[in-house]
Amino acid sequence: MSDFKSWPFQEAASLIKSHGPFEGTNPVRFETGFGPSGLPHIGTFAEVARTTWVRKAFEELTGLPTELIAFSDDMDGLRKVPLNLPNKELLTANLGKPLSSIPDPFGEAESFSAYMNGKLQEFLDTFGFEYRFQSSAQAYKRGDFDEGLRLILEKHEEIRNLIVPTLREENRAEWSPVMPVCPRCGKVYSTRVVKVHPETGTLDIACDRSFGTGEGCGYTGEIPVTGGNAKVGWKVDWALRWFSYGIGYEMYGKDLIESARLSAKICRLLGRKAPAGLFYEMFLDENGEKISKSVGKGLTVDSWLSYAPIESLLYYIFQNPKKAKRLFFDMIPKVVDDYLGELKTFGEAAPEARPDMAVWHIYGGTPPSYESSISFSVVNNLVSAVGADDPELLHKYLDKYDDKAADYRDTVNDLVDKSLVYYRDFILPEKKFITPEGQLRTMLEEILERLMALPPDAPVDGLQAIPFDVAKAHDVKPQELFSGIYQSLLGQERGPRFGSFVKLIGLEKLKEMLAKALSTESM
C-alpha cells in the first residue's frame, strides 16, 4: 500500500484497507465536528489540521477526490453559560434551547451559534484550510437527515438497548435517541419522547422536565421527527451524520473512545459502515490540566501567533497525536527551533524519506527552503544581549552572524518581530542581574583582560576556550562560571555557547558588556 511511515499515511492506508475499493465520482468524505457553545480553540485547530493531513495523504496514495466537512452541532442545547462570554443574563434565560435559537450575546449575529459558526469559519479560513461548512440546524431543516431519522424511529428499541446500559440508573427509563424541540418554549432538555410512531415518522412528546433552574412549559402533543422539530443525542448524532453523509474518516479525542464505539454500532445498525479514524490525546496546560474553551483556559492559537510562526504550531501538533501535549509559553522557542531545524534538513533528505517529515505535510509536499543558522534562540539571545527594541539594529547583527540571513529575509524578519514580543512579555520581566563579586568578579576580570589583548578582528572560533581556561585555573566547574557570566551580562542563568555568543554580538560588544558589568556604576 505505502512505504511511508508518517502517521497521516498510515491512517490513509488504513482507510483504504477498511473502506476500499472506492467507486463512483463522489468524493471520499472526511469530517470534523465543532461544538459552538464557545469560541474555536486549539483543539478545533488541531483536529482540522490533522484531518487535513490524513486527507491529503489519502489523495496522494489514491488520486481520488475528497471533501472535508466541518460540522457544527448548533442544534445542541446550551447546557451552561460559558465563563468567558458576555451578557450572561441573556444566556441564562435561554438555557436548554438549541444554540441556533439563542440570541447572540455579542449582538452581532442572528443567533448565538451564527456568531460562533462565523468565528469558526473565519478561524479556519485564516489558516487556509479547505472545507465545506455544515450547520446542524440547517441540515435538519433541509432534510439531510430525514432518511436516517425515520430509520432511527424504526430501530428505536435496538438503539435503546445499545445505549441504556451505559447510562446512570435514573436516566434509563425515559431515554430516547431522539430529542424533541418543544414547539411552545423552544427547549430541548425539558422535552421528552412519550411514544414513537415509525409508521408516520412522528413523536408524542411532553415538555415536563426540569433542567437546571428551569422547568418545562407543560406542552404535550405530536410532532414530526423531521423538519428541525427534533434532533438526536450526541452518540446517535455522530452516527446519523456518518450514515447520512457517507463519512469515510473522522478522528476524535481520547475522552470520546467509548462514544465512538457506540456510534459505530449505531451506524452499522442503520445500515452503513462506520468511518475509519484514530483517537488523539488532549492538550494540557503547563500544570498538566486539560485546556478548556468554556473557561478560556490555556494557550490559544492567537496567543501562539503573537510569539511564533503558525507553522511552528502545526509542526508541534503534527508530532505523535496519540501523546498528550502540554501547551505553554516557555516551550515556544524550542518548538520554533525544532521546526526550523527540520526545514533545514528537508532539502538534504532523500526524496523517498521526505513524505515522512512534518514539514512535507504542513506545506503540502513543497516546504520552503531554509539554510540559515539563525534560529529563534539565536534571535532571543541577541535581543537579550543588545537590549534593543530596534529591528534594524538586530538585523545588522544577524547579517554579520550569518551571511545567508539576507536570503531568507521574510523568515528572519518574522523571527525578529516575534522575538521582540516574546522578549518583552516573558524574558524581560524575569531578568535578574547579579553584581559579580569575589571569585566570579576575578574570573570575569581575567576574561576581559584576555579579550582586551586580542585585536578587534581576532577570529572568534578560538574564544570558546578562554572561559574554560579561566575556570580551570580557579578550580571552578565551567558551568558555574558560565552561569555567572550570563547572570552578570544577560540577567539569566543560561545562555548560548560562549563562542557562539561572541560570534553573534561581536568581540567589541562583549568587551563592552563585561566592562559595564564590572564597572563601579553597576556595583
Q: Per-residue pLDDT tens for 303-325?
A: 899 999 999 999 999 999 999 98
Quote the pLDDT of residue 326.
87
pLDDT grade, residue 293 (50/70/90)? Answer: low
Q: Which amino acid belongs to residue 429? A: P
* Residue 80 vs residue 221, higher pLDDT: 221
Cα distance between residue 469 and residue 462, in whole Å: 12
Q: How far is CA 377 from CA 122, 420, 480, in A?
A: 32, 12, 21
When pLDDT is averaged across residues 245-254 and rounded to a whole number, the result is 96
Quote the pLDDT of residue 522.
44
Question: DSSP letter string over 89-126?
Answer: HHHHHTTTSBGGGSPPTTSSSSSHHHHHHHHHHHHHHH
Domain 432-522 has CATH 1.10.10.350: yes
Per the listing, cell 498528550 goes with 324
Span 396-443, pLDDT tens digits:
999 999 999 999 999 999 999 999 999 999 989 999 999 999 999 999
pLDDT grade, residue 523 (50/70/90)? Answer: very low
Question: How many of the other CB atoms lie within 10 Å of CB of 17?
Answer: 10
Answer yes or no: is pLDDT of 515 > 60.
Answer: yes
* CATH code of the region 7-147+233-283: 3.40.50.620
Percent of the chain with pLDDT over 90: 80
Cα distance between residue 169 and residue 164, in whole Å: 9
Span 156-206, pLDDT tens digits:
999 999 999 999 999 999 999 999 999 999 999 999 999 999 999 999 999
CA 361 to chain centre: 16
Query: Across the chain, what does the average pLDDT equal?
Result: 92
Q: Tell which residue, 125, 138, 145, 134, has the closest CA to residue 71.
A: 134
From 79-83, 218-222, 344-348, 419-423, the region with the lowest mean pLDDT: 79-83
* Residue 456 vs residue 388, higher pLDDT: 456
Cα distance between residue 145 and residue 240, in whole Å: 7
Q: Contact 347/408 with Cβ under 8 angstroms? A: no
Peptide bond into 21 cis (omega under 30): yes
Cα distance between residue 411 and residue 343, in whole Å: 12
Q: How far is CA 521 from CA 11, 244, 404, in A?
A: 63, 76, 39
Query: Quick one: which H or E segment has residue 134?
Result: strand 132-135
Span 44-78, pLDDT tens digits:
999 999 999 999 999 999 999 999 999 999 999 99
Q: How far is CA 359 from CA 269, 334, 338, 344, in A?
A: 41, 16, 11, 10
Q: Which amino acid belongs to residue 184? A: R
Span 491-514, pLDDT tens digits:
998 888 888 899 999 999 999 999
Half-sphere exposure in the Cβ direction for 433 (13 Å, CA) = 14
Q: Tell which residue, 450, 477, 464, has the closest CA to residue 504.
A: 464
Q: What angle do CA 227, 230, 236 make, to 5 degrees?
A: 115
Span 452-497, pLDDT tens digits:
998 878 887 778 899 999 999 999 999 999 999 999 999 998 888 8
Answer yes or no: is pLDDT of 288 > 90.
Answer: no
Q: 311: burial class by Cβ within 10 Å (0-12, 13-18, 19+)? A: buried
Q: Which residue blocks in 68-203 are alpha helix, DSSP H?
A: 88-93, 112-126, 136-142, 146-154, 156-163, 169-172
pLDDT grade, residue 1 (50/70/90)? Answer: very low
| Distance in Å from the first CA to the final CA of the chain | 69
Quote the pLDDT of residue 107.
95
Quote the pLDDT of residue 2.
63
> What pTM value is reported for the model?
0.91
Q: Which amino acid belongs to residue 159? A: I
Cell readout for 255 is 475522552
Answer yes or no: is pLDDT of 82 > 50.
Answer: yes
Span 28-49, pLDDT tens digits:
999 999 989 888 888 899 999 9
